Amino acid sequence: MEPILNVENLQKYYGARGSVTRAIDDFSFRVNEGEFVGIMGASGSGKTTLLNCIATIDRPTAGHIRIEGKDVTGLKGKDLSRFRRERLGFVFQDCNLLDTLTAFENIALALTILKTPAGEIEGRVQETARLLDITPCLNKFPYQLSGGERQRVAAARAIITRPALVLADEPTGALDSKSARLLLDRFEELNGAQRTTILMVTHDAFTASYCRRILFIKDGRPFTELVRGASGRKDFFARIIEVVTLLGGDSGDVL
């Protein structure tokens, strides 16, 4: 089966000759359809750079990123925008909702820029909102919502277009533990019931424990990989902590 995401020998260097920073150095991995993959690493390990490259926000120095078999590293301008709006969904730490639009409109916007027929929009927004348990918030503006609700709205916006891949960058970074748990439960359900493929970057072990598989990155190189398999989340969490300790992350990175 063709993987949804195939990253081959990815390199991203910053700086000029003489003082090159290797943010990502020869990184390869695959994500199959329906997977929920986490990428973990300490601050500065290159995980956000990796995600930005996959999200087509940043351009790698060398290597290839194939999404559904299509090489996105060569896309430009219009094609890039089109690919982004049709095949990718984003959830960021700072949620990135438009503050002038209601929750409903924020979600609907993802559809309107896809030129979805107007008649379909309301039904699909309601349906997605039910999935993420945000139906009561739909007519509120972002500033009237809690952080957790905002992130779930952002998640709804990310999945409503039925993207091939949902990219989440520290989605729980700004949330309290209860809201984080709520959001991650939703992610788990989306992954389980909807078969949404999710790639999530985090430095938080608790958040990571919701994933099915975790890639650890250190100094731009793959460090190790953990697969949850049949084990429970608590068990998985303990294994993650072990790796994090090995990685040399400071205690702040542990829950």
Partner 1 sequence: MFSKLAFQNVRRSLKDYSVYFLTLTFGVCIFYVFNSMESQYVMEILLSANKGMIRVILQLIDVVSVFVSVVLGFLILYANGFMIRRRKKELGTYLLLGLDGGRVSALLFLETLLIGVFSLGIGLLLGVFLSQFISVFTAGLFAVSIPEFHFVFSPRALGKTLLYFGVIFLVVMLFNSFRVSRQKLIDLLRADRENQDLKLKSVGASVVMFLTGAILLIIAYAMLLVRGILRVDNLFFLMLALGTAGTLLFFRSLSGFLLKICQANKRLYYKGLNMFLLRQFNSRINSTYVSMTVICLMLLLAIGITACSVGLNNTVSAITAENAPYDVTVRFYCHGGDGAEPELEKWLAAGGFDPEQELAESVRFDIRQVELEPLTYSVGDREYTQTSLDAISLTDCNRLLALQGRTPLALTEGEYGLLWGTYMAEESFWKSLWADRPVVVAQGRALLAGGDVQAVVLTGDSVYSSMLVLPDALAASGTLSSRNLVGNYAPGIDPEQADERLAQAMGNLVPRDYDSGGNGYGYGWDSRVQIYLQTMGTKILVLFLGIYLGIVFLLCSAAVLALQQLSQAADNQNRYRVLARLGVEERMRDRSIYVQVFLAFFLPLALAVVHAAVGMTSANAAIAQVGRVDSAASSAVTAAFILVVYGAYFLATCWGSRRIIRGR
Cβ closest to partner 1, residue 112 vs residue 177: 112
Residue nearer to partner 1 on the CB measure, 67 or 240: 67
Q: How many CB atoms sit inside 10 A of residue 21's CB? A: 12
Q: Is 90 an interacting residue with respect to partner 1 (CB under 8 A)?
A: yes
- Distance from C-alpha of 135 to C-alpha of 141, rounded to nearest angstrom: 13
Q: Which of 22, 73, 141, 223 binds partner 1 (CB under 8 A)?
A: 141
Q: Which of residues 39-68 bind partner 1 (CB under 8 A)?
A: 55, 57
Q: Does 123 bind partner 1 (CB under 8 A)?
A: no
Nearest distance from residue 181's CB to partner 1, in Å?
A: 26
Point out which span in 41-49, 109-117, 183-191, 247-255 binds partner 1 (CB under 8 A): 109-117
Residue 76 within binding range of partner 1, rule CB under 8 A: no
- The CB-of-125 to partner 1 minimum distance in angstroms stands at 10
Q: Does 247 bind partner 1 (CB under 8 A)?
A: no
Q: Is 82 in the site for partner 1 (CB under 8 A)?
A: yes
**Residue 250 in contact with partner 1, rule: CB under 8 A:** no
Stretch of 20-28, 106-114, 174-182, 189-197 contacting partner 1, by CB under 8 A: 106-114
Among 23, 108, 168, 184, binds partner 1 (CB under 8 A): 108
Question: CA gyration radius for the chain?
Answer: 18
Q: Which one, 80 or 254, has the nearer CB to partner 1?
A: 80
Q: Which residues bind partner 1 (CB under 8 A)?
A: 55, 57, 77-78, 81-86, 88, 90, 96-101, 105, 108-113, 115-116, 118-119, 121-122, 141, 143, 157
